[in-house]
Amino acid sequence: MLTRTAQSDSPTVHSFDDFPGATLIYVSDYFSFIGQDHQGHVGFALDNSRGRDGDAYQAEHLVLLHDEQQGWVELEGSGRYDNSGKDLKTIPQSPSFRFAGMPYTGMAIVSERNRLSLKITPIVQRTRTRHDGAVVSMGTAQAVLTWSGRTIPGRVIYESFMMPNINRLTHTYWDMWDEYQGFYLRMGTDGDLYLHSQKSERLAPLMGFRDGFIALNTETDVMKDMKVEVLGRELAWGFYKWPTSWRVTWTGPKGSAVLILKQVSRTSIGNWAIGGFSMAVVTGELEYGGGRIPVYGLVELIM
């Protein structure tokens, strides 16, 4: 059974105790930051995955940073690390990143190795979806990134994900991702825009094929009748192509919306010939509610 709640301040709790017989569990907390100072935009993404496979526990970071002037900046920390503390409900500390606080009460992420910190105000939960014990929760908040001698104000979109009976850190699920396009966007200076489009039958009961929200202060606008049209593609190193521009339409409480996006830059994370995993930076404009709003952000692509 699928249930969904929109715009709640209640913290997400991973209900591991509901599955005492589950030998596999997968959890991730994903933070996508977009900020801007006088030197331009900065995008920072940190995905924190952990899992259990029988008596063994795993943990993994994926870290990316894009500066509008410098391009993609290599940071330390991506890859597997020790989870001897058997942490699942909270993010395990690692040699590269330390975590203080909790997402829904405010938290800080510090990386001394990268001379970077991200301070996040209490996240406002925007959506929460459950299906057969799996949970996806989305939220947004103000945040400040300190990096390279800069103090960069911005916004964070937070995604919390938990699935029992699956662990992608120890198993391969070829049917989990199919044409996945996840857009984590800053709308103007104070708004957030999230949407995704995907074709995986495995994920559809939990995430749907297309879904998203617009968030501004305490308001969360749902997006109905969404259509995601890929306007352009470029060749990949394999038998597939990366999308490079999009037109997205939907209907919200303020009427019809049209979002036009184009790729600024893209970095490859993984490639398996028939598909791949990459992150892109996009810019564009949203026409909605009688106005035009600039949009800038990150897009996760898993083909």
- The number of beta carbons lying within 10 Å of the beta carbon of residue 183 is 26
- The number of beta carbons lying within 10 Å of the beta carbon of residue 185 is 26
| pLDDT at 16 > cutoff 80 | no
Average pLDDT over all residues of the chain: 92
Closest by Cα among 133, 84, 101, 82 to 29? 101
**Pair 286, 293: CB distance under 8 Å:** yes
User: How much is the pTM?
Assistant: 0.93
Report domain extents, the chain: 1-9+18-171, 175-303
Percentages of the chain per state (helix, strand, coil), in multiples of 5? 0, 65, 30
SS3 192: strand
Residue 44's alpha-carbon distances to 66, 73, 113, 145, 261, in angstroms, are 7, 10, 15, 9, 19
For 175-303, CATH gives 2.40.370.10
- Overall average pLDDT of the 6-33 stretch: 67
Residue 15's pLDDT is: 47
Q: How confident is the model at residue 19 (pLDDT cuts 50, 70, 90)?
A: low
- The number of beta carbons lying within 10 Å of the beta carbon of residue 130 is 17
- Overall average pLDDT of the 167-193 stretch: 95
Closest by Cα among 42, 95, 27 to 264? 42
- DSSP summary character for residue 47: E
SS3 61: strand
Residue 5's pLDDT is: 43
What is the DSSP annotation of 82-131? --TT--SSSPPP-SS-EEEEETTTEEEEEETTTTEEEEEPPPEEEEEEEE
**Pair 69, 43: CB distance under 8 Å:** no
pLDDT digits (tens, 9 = 90+) for 101-119: 999 999 999 999 999 999 9
